[in-house]
Structure 1
Amino acid sequence: MSYTDPESLSRGSRQQARQRAISEAVMEEGSVRIEALAERFDISVMTVHRDLDELEDRGLLRKSRGVATATSTSLVESSDVYRSGRQIAQKKAIARAALEFIEPGQALMLDDSTTTLHLLPHLSDKTPLTVITNTLTIMNELRNTRGTTMIGLGGDYYNWCSSFMGRMTVREIAELRADLFFMSTSAIVDDVCFHQTLETVDVKRAMFESARRRVLLVDGTKFEKRALHAMLPLADFDAVIVDSATAPEHVDRLREHGITVVIAPASSSG
C-alpha cells in the first residue's frame, strides 16, 4: 500500500498511518463510498467501519449510509490524526530549536499541539524535568521516561485532540506555576494566534498565564491560515520559533515589531 510500509510499523502505528491515509483520501475527494475505501487500502469493510468510527469521533469526517464525507476545513485542521501527518520535517526542526530553551530542573507546560510531540524524544537529554500537560498522548509517551515527573491535567476529555479541557482543567492550571510553556496555534491572523474552538483557547490562555516564559512553535503555513477565535498576540511571547521555509516577510515584520524570532535550521535527514 502506498500510505506506509506495514512491516516497518507496530500495529498502532499501522492503524494511525492507515487512518491518516483514509482521512486524506476522503478530504481530497469530498466523499467516498466505504466499499471503495476497503478496496483501495486492501482491508475489510469492517476494518474501514472501525477506522471511520474513530475518525468521526475525532471530528475529522462523517459516516452515513455507506459513505464517508469530509467535515469543514476548520475541524479537519483541529484533528490530531490529520495534523500529526502534516509538515513533519518542519515540526521536527522547530522542536530541535526549542530544546535550546530547556534547562534541567525546569517545570515545562506542553499544550495539545502536534509540534510539541516532537519534543518528547529529546526530553531525556534534559532531565530532571517536570512536565505538565492536558494531552493524553504526551502522558502515555512520557509515563516511562526516567528522570521525568509528569503532572496530568484532568477535565472533560476531547477525543478529537486527545486532550482534557474545560472548567476543571483551567482551574487546575491556575494552581500551578511552570518555568516554560511551549504551545502552537492553528492560525496566525494579523500577528495574533487564533484557534477554532473556545475550549482550546481557554486552556492555552490559562497555561500562558501560569508560565514564567512562553515560546510559540509555528511552521510557516500557519501565517496563511485562518480560524475563528483570537487567542494571544505574538508580541506577548518571549520567543517565536518558525521553520526555515517561513516567508521572509513574516519574519522581518515580526522582528520589526520587537518580537524575538528563531528560525529553526532545516535538517537534511528531515
Structure 2
Amino acid sequence: MDRPLSRQSRQQARQRAITEAVMAEGAIRIEQLADRFGISVMTVHRDLDELEGRGLLRKDRGVATAMSTALVESSDVYRSSRQLAEKEALARAALELIEPGQAIILDDSTTTLHLVPLLHTKTPLTVITNTLPIMEQLKGTRGITLLSVGGQFYNWCSAFMGRMAVEAFASLRADVLVMSTSAITDDIAFHQTLETVDVKRAMFESASTRILLADHTKFDKRALHAMLPLSEFDAVVVDADTDRAHVDRLRKRGVKVLVARKAPREARS
C-alpha cells in the first residue's frame, strides 16, 4: 500500500510542477497558476518566493517568468522528477559496490540521493557529503557516521560548495565515491556550473574507488564545463535503456561499464 505523501513531499512535487509549467510557457500569471493547481494565490506566492530565492523563476507584477534553462536543469527541484525508475536501478547497482565498514562520499546528484534510503543494509558506514537533503535523511540513522562538508550554500542544488568545500574534501581520504553528472560528451563527464566541477573533482581525488552513475539521457545532453573522462572512473553504471553503441564503445576503450537491471515492480511501489 502506498504511503500518503507528507506535506513537504506535496510541496516539493507542486513546486516541481510549477517550475516545469513556467518553463514550458515562459511566463504565467499567478492567478492562472492558482487555478491550474487548485491552490490559493497566497500559496502560489509562497512557492514562487522560494523558487525565486533558488534562482529558478522570477516573480514580478503578478507574473512568474522562467529563468535560465541551464540553471533550472541543474537544480535539484527539476532533476529530482526525472528518470525516477532509471535512477532507482542505478542506485541499487551502486549499492552492490559498497561494503560495510567503508567511508563513502556522496555528491549532490539526485541519482545518488536514491542510494541514501538503501544504505542501512550496508552498515556500519561513514558517509561524507556536502548535500543538505542527504544530511537530513541520514541524521540519526543507526550504524551510519555522518560527516558534513560545509562552504557556501547554493540554494539551486541544496549543497555546500566553494573553496571551503574543496579544501575540506582535499583533507579527507575515503574508500568510495558515488557521483553522477549532467552530461556526457565525447566520453567525458560535463556539468553546467564550474563550482560543481571544482567540488566533484575534489571528491574524486579524495576517494580510492570512483563510481559514476549515468542514466541513458546523459549521453544526449550537453553542458559547458568538462569534469572528468569516463576512463578515469573505476566503474561507470548505466541503465538498461542506454544505447548499446555507447556501452560497446566505452568497453573497447577499457572502461568498466555495468548495466543496471531494472528495479522489480514491488521495489518501486
> Normalization by structure 1: what TM-score?
0.96
Matched AA of 2:129: T
Number of the residue aligned with 1:158: 154
Number of the residue aligned with 2:213: 217
Number of the residue aligned with 1:246: 242
**SS of equivalent to 1:213:** strand
In the alignment, which of 19, 22, 26 is matched to residue 23 of structure 1? 19
Structure 2 CA distance, aligned partners of 1:249 and 1:202? 30
**SS of equivalent to 1:101:** coil
Matched AA of 1:54: E
**SS of equivalent to 1:161:** coil
Number of the residue aligned with 2:193: 197
Matched AA of 2:142: R
In the alignment, which of 166, 175, 180 is matched to residue 176 of structure 2? 180
Alignment of 1:1-270 (within 5 A): 8-269=4-265, 270=268
Matched AA of 2:127: V
What is the Cα deviation at residue 38 of structure 1?
0.5
**Runs of 4+ with deviation above 6 angstroms:** none
Give the gaps of 5 or more residues in structure 1.
Answer: none
What is the Cα deviation at residue 267 of structure 1?
2.4
Matched AA of 2:180: S
**SS of equivalent to 2:236:** strand
Structure 2 CA distance, aligned partners of 1:253 and 1:132? 33
What is the Cα deviation at residue 268 of structure 1?
4.0
Matched AA of 2:88: K
Matched AA of 1:157: F
Between 24-33 and 122-131, the greater mean CA deviation after superposition: 24-33
Identity %: 71
Structure 2 CA distance, aligned partners of 1:52 and 1:84? 18
What is the Cα deviation at residue 253 of structure 1?
1.0
Structure 1 CA distance, aligned partners of 2:66 and 2:150? 30
What is the Cα deviation at residue 24 of structure 1?
1.2
**SS of equivalent to 2:93:** helix
Q: RMSD of the alignment, in Å?
A: 1.2
**SS of equivalent to 1:230:** strand
Aligned residues: 265
> Normalization by structure 2: what TM-score?
0.96
Structure 1 CA distance, aligned partners of 2:170 and 2:264? 41
Whether the 8 Å CA contact 1:59–1:79 is kept in 2: the answer is no
